[in-house]
């Protein structure tokens, strides 16, 4: 019989370090950015169900710029799992992403549990890695490849690092920047030359396999890495989603995580490079940061690799003692846990509670009020729907024209207040008691979703 307590004592720090990833995967359901859902789970939906709605896909699907490797991975896992609920399936994928992220950092931290505790409990590390986004999965694959890359230069390690780096590229094409720079560093710093050739050939072979995978996805031959570069760099389609100044990536992390934590990470990264001047991380992260700063369209998620790498370098074993002596770490730890309470314990996308509620309903048509722009809510995530559901817009003042017994769906606090005394409330996304604490009218800025019956 296995003795549980001795095993727990032996691996308690491992369990404590992996715990934030599991908690975040369970509670932070949904997506941080729509791409996390629509270019992964909705792509998967087209392969596992006859209920498909291609019209929900953005221009990037029709331009053939998205790789299908991540979708194929999810498809293979779907085939060997007993899960039928899409919510359980999404949870399973988040758990796998979180565990893979933890493993990659554990390997890179040289399996040091003290370092891993600091890394794992930095709020945005599990939040970014326990997701179904290409940014998180590609970062994890790159870190695993880097683990073999940083070991003794041998044929086996060259093969494995090339394999995981190639997979990282197939998951997210922007990773080609760091892979190319690291490969040039490999050529300059390492011998024998034949291992460099093996490493490079494996990466190219994996890219070739990606072409076959994309054929499975799109149903036609295409080279999506070229499509991605041409569409975004030549045609500048990405800039349609907003243009930011070059200092965006310097200022935005401070807004997201407070000034103290980014300051510690900058100091820690600087200290690491001061003591490791020939480390390949310096050219890799610097080049990745500069190129993304030059690209007009910017989002914090694009630099997940850099931010998580900074945590990894800052809390490497040789720097932990340096920061533990600093009194500034006390408010940082407190602030970090406050932010982590929100990021890891609440849904990343509130609409999932609505999809869960209607998942048990056979109602196919919902009525929903139009907003001031004449727009109204539409179901756009067929992955979470077992049957196709539609919404029909109407003016809020015309609620009496809605057929008797029909379901009305409202999506903001103003609509909720209007129907509160006129219709019967069937479901609400917030507990009612929280409405008593509407300080600064925060509810007016929140997605208060409700289902009604108006007789």
All residues at 6 or more sequence positions from 84 whose CB lies less than 8 Å from its CB, including other chains: none
Distance, in Å, from the CA atom of 28 to the CA atom of 94, rounded to the nearest integer, reads 9
Extract the tokens encoding 79: 């085939």
Give pLDDT tens digits for 239-249: 777 788 777 88
pLDDT at 264: 86
- How many CA atoms lie less than 13 Å away from 281 in the CB half-sphere? 25
Count Cα atoms within 13 angstroms, Cβ side, for 428: 17
Residue 145 corresponds to which tokens in the numbers above? 């490849």
How far is the C-alpha of 171 from the C-alpha of 137, rounded, in Å? Answer: 7
Backbone angles phi, psi at 408, to 5 degrees: -110, 135
2-46 pLDDT tens trace: 566 665 667 788 899 999 999 999 999 999 888 999 999 999 999
Q: How many helices (H) and strands (E) does the chain have?
A: 21, 5
Residue 332 has a pLDDT of 84
Q: Name the nearest CA neighbour of 45 among 92, 79, 86.
A: 86
Which residue stretches of the chain have pLDDT < 70?
Answer: 1-9, 190-191, 255-258
Say what the pTM is: 0.91
Q: What is the pLDDT of residue 107?
A: 95
Q: Are strands 450-453 and 407-410 parallel, antiparallel or unpaired?
A: antiparallel
What are the φ/ψ torsions at residue 390 (nearest 5 degrees)? Answer: -120, 160
Cα 339 off chain centre by: 17
Domain assignments of the chain as residue spans, ordered by start: 4-345, 351-453
Cis peptide before 192 (omega within 30 of 0): yes
């Amino acid at each position: 019989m296995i003795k549980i307590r001795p095993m727990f004592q032996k691996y308690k720090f491992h369990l404590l370090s992996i715990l934030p990833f599991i908690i975040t995967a369970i509670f932070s359901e949904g997506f941080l950015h729509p791409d996390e859902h629509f270019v992964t789970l909705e792509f998967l939906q087209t392969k596992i169900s006859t209920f498909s709605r291609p019209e929900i896909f953005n221009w990037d699907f029709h331009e053939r710029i998205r790789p299908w490797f991540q979708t194929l991975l999810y498809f293979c896992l779907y085939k060997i799992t007993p899960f039928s609920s899409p919510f359980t399936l999404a949870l399973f994928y988040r758990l796998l992403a979180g565990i893979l992220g933890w493993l990659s950092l554990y390997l890179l931290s040289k399996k040091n549990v003290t370092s891993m505790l600091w890394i794992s409990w930095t709020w945005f590390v599990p939040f970014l890695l326990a997701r179904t986004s290409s940014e998180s999965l590609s970062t994890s694959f790159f870190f695993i490849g880097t683990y073999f890359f940083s070991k003794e230069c041998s044929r086996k390690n060259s093969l494995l690092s090339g394999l995981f780096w190639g997979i990282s590229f197939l998951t997210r094409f922007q990773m080609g920047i760091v892979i190319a720079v690291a490969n040039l560093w490999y050529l300059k710093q390492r011998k024998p030359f034949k291992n460099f050739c093996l490493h490079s050939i494996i990466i190219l072979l994996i890219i070739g396999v990606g072409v076959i995978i994309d054929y499975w996805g799109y149903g036609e031959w295409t080279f999506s890495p070229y499509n991605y570069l041409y569409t975004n760099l030549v045609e500048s389609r990405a800039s349609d989603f907003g243009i930011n100044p070059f200092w965006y990536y310097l200022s935005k992390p401070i807004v997201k995580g407070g000034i103290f934590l980014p300051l510690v990470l900058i100091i820690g990264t600087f200290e690491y490079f001061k003591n490791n001047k020939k480390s390949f991380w310096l050219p890799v992260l610097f080049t990745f940061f500069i190129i993304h700063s030059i690209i007009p369209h910017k989002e914090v998620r694009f630099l997940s690799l850099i931010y998580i790498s900074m945590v990894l370098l800052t809390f490497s074993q040789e720097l932990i003692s340096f920061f533990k002596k600093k009194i500034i770490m006390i408010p940082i730890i407190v602030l970090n846990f406050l932010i982590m309470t929100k990021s890891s314990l609440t849904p990343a996308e509130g609409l999932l509670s609505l999809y869960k509620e209607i998942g048990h309903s056979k109602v196919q048509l919902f009525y929903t009020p139009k907003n001031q722009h004449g727009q109204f809510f539409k179901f756009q995530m067929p992955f979470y729907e077992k049957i196709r559901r539609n919404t029909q817009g109407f003016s809020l003042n015309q609620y009496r024209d809605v057929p008797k017994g029909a379901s009305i769906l409202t999506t903001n606090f103003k609509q909720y207040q209007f129907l509160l005394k006129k219709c019967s409330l069937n479901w609400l996304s917030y507990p009612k008691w929280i409405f008593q604490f509407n300080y600064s009218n925060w509810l007016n800025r929140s997605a208060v979703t409700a289902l009604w019956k108006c007789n």
